[in-house]
Amino acid sequence: MKKIQVGIIGFGTVGSGLAEVLYSQQERIMKRTGIDISLTKVADTSLTVLPDHFSDVTLVQDAKEIINDPDIDIVAELIGGIEPAKTFVMEAIKAGKHVVTANKALLSQEGHDIFSAAAEHGVEIGFEASVGGGIPVIKSLREGLVANRILSIMGIMNGTANYILTRMTDEGVPFDVVLKDAQEKGFAEADPTYDVEGIDTAHKLAILMCMAYGMNITHNEIATEGISQIEPLDIELAREFGCRIKLLAISRNHGEHVEARVHPTMVPENHLLASINGAYNAIHFTGDTVGNVLLYGLGAGKVPTGSAVAADVVDIARNINSGSVGRVPPLAYMPDQIQDRRITPMNELFGPYYFRFTVRDEPGVLAAISGILGQHNISIESVVQKIREQNSAVPLVMLTHTAKESSVAAALEEIKALDAVVAPIVKIRLLEEEQE
């Protein structure tokens, strides 16, 4: 039986998850593939010993002992971050190793160099776990949807942010309180910036857009807003309007240009994405032949993510075994077909909005605000003013019909300057109805 040897660089959550999955599923994988896929070496600078059931696996400190090991076929880079991960990946490629990684920050920023090097050296790059944790989203997009022009990508792609928003919604407590508790329970990182500010979601959207549209894009080109400014009051008001607030990645393919954005979004309760709760992820594609597809599952976690990395390992092992390495281009398009596309500037986008103004409750304020909105061609769909407490400011909440982002920005600048507006204006985009 053909034997394929795997080396793991980085034995943290995902690295140890891959090891556990390869160990616990070894026999099943053998039955399914006819290949003996074995973990033979782990490199980790902070470990002195591996768990007992890995007694056949060699633990080393230096990643080069994996990269330069002639018996290792597949290197799993699972340390995360840009460096030294990029150096390890590039060195492994140059040494003729196939590489699997879960590193969305690396791929969404340095993917061009990595995919070019892999093509030059005739090796495969697997990155299923970089988007949606255990959900087989990459393989679905690359292979299952190959006969489609992808019209849109929309999803909840960060479990930490979704967990925090879900608890804020269910318990009515502020962001900071939930975040602290989530950190204590291990649901959020000590530094949660990437997760809560939408950056991790932008990394994932960039990877999906490259594959969906056959284009180059880095995460820096994606307009990104996070959830740290969301208040329980807005969640409560959203509920009164029949919506949930979710951190969404949204991309639409307009042919000449493509939308790319990550921001908190009010999602109607009857939309499938409104019911994705806790640490779960869901990714929705619309294809011109298939229609709508929704993939749902755990977007993080040691073993679910290990399952996705193991799927890459198995794919590569099968390709090695059948002499078909490079059968499927990693970014789903032939490299010479990947093109630059214009990203739609945010100020050109149209959609409905939620505004919450904090105003002094006195005559003429509503008229002044609605007058400014009208001058900017922004039509109000509904208005709610919450209860009046003696001498205190009140929340004045509006939903608009579809408006242009640049007009909204200009109108809010003017409204902000009114004497009666006494606190920063909250603006949340509503999910637009899909145009068929």
Query: Which residues lie near ligand HSE (CB under 6 A)?
Result: 158-160, 195, 200, 299-300
Return the number of the residue (7 or 198) whose C-beta is nearest ligand HSE.
198
To ligand HSE, the closest distance from the beta carbon of 132 in angstroms equals: 8
Least spacing, CB of residue 283 vs ligand HSE, in Å: 12
CA distance 342 to 255: 9
Q: Give the integer Cα–Cα distance in Å for 188 and 229.
A: 17
Distance CA 15, CA 29 (A): 18
Question: Is the CB of residue 23 less than 8 Å from the CB of residue 313?
Answer: no
60 burial (CB, 10 Å; 0-12 / 13-18 / 19+) is middle
Report the nearest approach of ligand HSE to the CB of residue 281 (Å).
7
Cβ-based nearer residue to ligand HSE, 4 or 295: 295
Indicate the residue among 187 and 333 with the shorter CB distance to ligand HSE.
187
Residue 231 backbone dihedrals phi, psi, to 5 degrees: -110, 150
Q: Report the run of H or E that residue 358 belongs to, with start and end.
A: strand 353-359
Helix (H, G, I), strand (E, B) or coil at 429: strand
What does the alpha-carbon distance between residue 78 and residue 90 come to, in Å, rounded to a whole number? 14
386 noted as active-site residue: no
* Cα-to-chain-centroid distance, residue 425: 27
Contact 299, 274 (CB under 8 A): no
In Å, what is the CA distance from 95 to each residue of 40, 68, 69?
18, 7, 9
Of the residues 204, 246, 302, 427, only one is catalytic, namely 204
Asked if residue 332 lies in contact with residue 146, where contact means CB atoms within 8 angstroms, the answer is yes
Q: How far is the CB of 327 from ligand HSE (least distance, A)?
A: 27
Nearer Cβ to ligand HSE, position 16 or 158? 158
Please report how close the Cβ of residue 196 comes to ligand HSE at its closest, in angstroms.
Answer: 9
Smallest distance, Å, CB 159 to ligand HSE?
A: 3
In three-state secondary structure terms, 317 is: helix
Nearest residue to 308 via CA among 55, 9, 21: 21
The Cα–Cα gap between 351 and 433 comes to 9
Q: List, by residue number, the catalytic residues.
A: 204
